[in-house]
Chain A
């Protein structure tokens, strides 16, 4: 299977080397085919990002509908079922289709650049991950068009509400779509994570020791480990749920011996690490941005990384704090309460270190820095309310009230989304080669900051005066109206801010009037800033030899011995693996298989349940063929001979 000896042409030209058995797009492919078959981590990262930004708008519209419905008491913008579908879809979309893939987009694009690699370890698997993510997103949103519409079960789908026994629409398919889309998205995340772990462990440039890696790459590694260890729990929980719904098993059916409690445990064993899966990438981004705009190295680099790892590790030991009100008994609740408080310490460490980084620096307030500062302050508020919830007596009032809604939006918007926007403003010049408009960026930040706080700060108060979450309506006379109206106004401001931001990101790729960025517009510190903007498809013309942490900075300001070097030019150039159709084919096969599973059961004329797996099996066969062809075609590839300066 391995490629035998390769013949090379003269070193001045780009060459095509492989006699092809299977149809593969050539190295000169452009346009749609290029995007569909690419295995370049940068293009995959961009597609991840663009798809996630699209879903951000979808989820945002759902959020605005929710906020419109809550404008005042007894509103009828949505019926109660529609409202319940909205918050389910909003939650699922934002967690699985926005924040996670946005993080994955940055991982994909940046991590290989930061460690001096030409690509991830398994480029085609990376493409498969992308297409699984896309089909997962499509499957979830297809649910709108079938029996029962979208799921109305809440994003954590507590059993036994998901049981067919309690379906409020006959033959409700929403939860099935939800189950299968989460499985696809889980597969996407797992594939990506295996890849990132292998890449970071194995494909670092010479001299790039673990303790020289940028913090963002470290966070990629930690998050990848969290994903591969946490996702199995929900995958199995979903398998069990699927069996319950489709084949009548009794995992969560309490009337037949099951335990709905089990779902909550399995879900949160996944769900709590998931919280850190969402926030650690943003922390990584901020840990990159703050040193750059303070012109100082990260304060306590080792401690920041260690605390990230500790957060990830402890994330597996605190899941039950989501279940304080489910009656676990005094001992369990106390233990989880204390463990949860402990997790505040490594989180606090990060904040101290960010401030320590700025101390004595020369702080510039460009848009990325504004978002980073917004991240720190907003995340602090979210963290503090988190400490409150760790205390069981407080949680007994806060649980499932708007206070909790405020808390996790402070963490996920004020934290994760601000961090990711910070990343966009910081790295888009690297990705597009053009500087973003600073004024527009600051305007977006202002809108988002004000809108965000207007929306979510009043929710603390609303929760305390008794507004429960997930209620489509509230009665007059609870004193909820004023603050809900402020929140709704705020949400529209936030929505406009995000929309302009998304427009700005997308247009940066097309707007030729923007100023060129050059290699290192921010005078930044890490390895990716030694490359041209946008980065060439081969990343590094010659493999760098790393001499220090913050290599780009050291090259400019450090002592001579810290300057990076290059591996000598190789006579056979840069090997580029070929594009491939098979990741896409495999994902399409999986997609068809899922559709086949979703619609396999029907009731025939005599009222009998008929199971027909033809479509599912066909899909399975397609993806199996995809995998077989994939392994037979090999990476193949072509060679490029970039000039020394072209990187």
Chain B
């Protein structure tokens, strides 16, 4: 994880041409690319949203399925986790290991709560009596809403899960006694990723959930 840092460290040279650490540039490039991933998924969902309203004469009012209170809650939790993440980055920059640990722990917990909500939501939708929404059907009829919905939110959930595991990695590492301000860059990259995943959710939430109540 620390190719560049070490490189810089033992060369004592101006780190990079731009002054931005390599890993940060890498992370930004990755996030740019990731935007396109989610862009594609979100457009797929938007394209199908209306087209698929009535397949097989089975009108889909997704509001019967959605549990907007729960999703609003998990959205709030995920947004709050970003605050913890920002504090964690700030703490490690200052070398405050204890605070870093707590903030990382908070982020992990909130991320996990979000994931738990999503798992609950998915199972709840799939087995909702009378309104079963599965990957391929709605109320037992073939439908495309489930396909776009689960794949889009599932991809986001996978991103969150990867983020949680990454954060757990940091948390564990913080107990080895090797963690120092030298790692701040790496934690910051992790933070960039986490914030990005949050921002994506800020787009998904209105586009996938709220819009169903508006239009």
Contact = CB atoms under 8 A, between A and B. Distances in A.
Interface of A: 1-3, 6, 121-124, 190, 193-195, 197-198, 201-204, 208, 228-233, 235-237, 239-240, 243-244, 247-251, 253, 255-259, 262, 266, 269, 543, 570, 572, 575, 577, 628, 630-632, 634-637
Interface string B12-52: 01001110101001100110111011011100100110011
B93 to A, nearest CB: 15
A236 B17 contact: no
Given A2-B9, A2-B183, A248-B136, A232 B34 contact: yes
B29 A240 contact: no
Nearest to A628: B169
Given A121-B26, A232-B37, A251-B147, A634 B135 contact: no
Contacts of B25: 121, 197-198, 201-202
B151 interface: yes
B142 interface: yes
Given A248-B135, A250-B147, A251-B148, A3 B10 contact: yes
B33 to A, nearest CB: 4
A537 to B, nearest CB: 16
A198 B143 contact: no
B132 to A, nearest CB: 14
A190 B33 contact: yes
B73 to A, nearest CB: 28
Majority-rule SS of A interface residues:
helix
B22 A121 contact: yes
B29 A635 contact: no
B6 A239 contact: no
B51 A259 contact: yes
B40 A237 contact: yes
A623 to B, nearest CB: 13
B48 A257 contact: yes
Contacts of A259: 47-48, 51
Contacts of B144: 249-251, 256-258
Given A203-B22, A248-B135, A256-B136, 13 more contacts: A2-B6, A3-B6, A121-B4, A122-B3, A194-B30, A203-B17, A232-B34, A243-B135, A249-B136, A250-B147, A257-B51, A259-B47, A628-B169
5 contacts: A194-B29, A251-B44, A258-B144, A262-B44, A634-B3
Contacts of B182: 1-2
Contacts of B44: 236, 240, 251, 262, 266
B40 A256 contact: no
B7 interface: yes
B26 A249 contact: no
Nearest to A230: B36
B121 interface: no
B5 interface: yes
A198 B3 contact: no
Contact of A634 (B2, B136, B148, B151): B2
B11 A575 contact: yes
Given A2-B6, A202-B25, A262-B44, A250 B11 contact: no
Nearest to B54: A257
B147 to A, nearest CB: 4
A577 B5 CA distance: 12
B29 to A, nearest CB: 5
- What's the interface size class on B, roughly? 35 or more
B97 interface: no
Nearest to A233: B40
A264 to B, nearest CB: 13
A351 to B, nearest CB: 31
B146 interface: yes
Nearest to A575: B10
Contacts of B148: 251
Contacts of A255: 142
Contact of B3 (A240, A572, A577, A628): A577
B10 to A, nearest CB: 5
A628 B29 CA distance: 22
Contact of B36 (A121, A229, A251): A229
Contact of B147 (A6, A243, A635): A243
B122 to A, nearest CB: 14
Nearest to B134: A248
A490 to B, nearest CB: 40
A488 B56 CA distance: 51
A481 B155 CA distance: 52
A250 B20 contact: no
B211 to A, nearest CB: 19
A201 B18 contact: yes
B143 A257 contact: yes
Nearest to B37: A232
B42 to A, nearest CB: 10
Contacts of A248: 135-136
B178 A1 contact: yes
Contact of B26 (A194, A204, A239, A636): A194
Interface string B141-168: 0111011101100010000000000000
Contacts of B11: 570, 575
A121 B2 CA distance: 11
Question: Which of A233, A249, A255, A630 is most buried by chain B, counting CB atoms within 10 A of its CB?
Answer: A249
A598 to B, nearest CB: 20
A310 B194 CA distance: 33
B214 interface: no
Across the A-B interface, give the 5 residue pairs with the lowest CB-CB distance, nearest first: A256-B142, A232-B36, A249-B147, A631-B1, A257-B144
A570 B16 CA distance: 17
Contacts of A232: 33-34, 36-37, 39-40
B80 interface: no
A247 B1 CA distance: 36
Nearest to B30: A194
Contacts of A208: 17
Given A121-B22, A251-B148, A256-B55, A634 B40 contact: no
A2 B2 contact: yes
A202 B20 contact: yes
Contacts of A243: 135, 147, 151
A475 to B, nearest CB: 40
A231 B33 contact: yes
Given A232-B34, A259-B48, A259-B51, A198 B22 contact: yes
Given A202-B22, A251-B44, A575 B7 contact: yes
A124 B3 CA distance: 9
